[in-house]
Amino acid sequence: MYPTPTPSKARKLSGSLKRMLFPAIVVVFAPLNKGTSAKRADACFIVGTITLPTEVSDTAIAIQNNVACNLAKTTIGKAPDVTSGGITFSSIDFSQSSLTPLNFALTTFATADPLASSDLDAFTNQLNTYLATEVALRSTGGSLAIKDPKFFLAFQIARIKTAQGVTITNTGQKVQHLLGKVINNAGSEDQATKDKVTALSTVLS
């Protein structure tokens, strides 16, 4: 016959049993690096190792499923040629034109007349290729002259959406805000070119 354990021994045995059945679980929370998103961008166009600002990383995450990369072909710097909705960046690459970036954008990314009949999907795909190429350039420390035609495309999309009655809730994507972005990034563009963009901001139907 086995001896009955004393209360103190029983408590010790109970504690040992709990530790065997329920070992301590240590949870380690790794801090997010500043400038990165909680959800990681694994886009094919992030070809460099430079940490992306949060806003840029968020953009990469938003478009990565809509953009394909041709890693065998580069466009600007080390950026791969990218495609969205059948539109390749190399087919609308401002850097291959003799025009200034903003004049190229005004010519290449002109809207239809009437404005509301413009192809919103086509403009969106064009912008996707510019956004992806900018992300690639930022990840490699390349030139950011792409910013002005990129902002112009976003500006045109805002105009088209307004004309089509699409509600824009994000202030940063509204016509007047994007007009400011285009003008502020116009650099050495002449005033006449800037005035053409300003005039477009009043044509919303």
Q: What is the pLDDT of residue 22?
A: 46
User: pLDDT digit string (tens) for 31-70?
Assistant: 334 444 445 678 999 999 999 999 999 999 999 999 999 9
Q: Is there a contact between 115 and 159 (Cβ–Cβ < 8 Å)?
A: yes
Contact 69, 55 (CB under 8 A): no
- As given in the structure block, the two tokens for residue 21 are 């059945």
pLDDT given for residue 25 in this prediction: 39
- CA 39 from chain centre, in angstroms, equals 13
Judge contact between 157 and 120, C-beta under 8 A: yes
Check pLDDT > 90 for residue 3.
Answer: no
Among candidate residues 184, 88, 187, the one with its CA nearest the CA of residue 132: 88
Q: What CA–CA distance (Å, rounded) separates 105 from 148?
A: 8
Picking from 152, 157, 158, 139, the residue whose alpha carbon sits closest to that of residue 185 is 152
Enter the pTM of the model: 0.81
Residues 6 or more apart in contact with residue 4 via CB below 8 angstroms: none
Q: Does pLDDT of 105 surpass 60?
A: yes
What's the pLDDT at 6? 56
The answer to whether residue 144 scores a pLDDT higher than 90 is yes
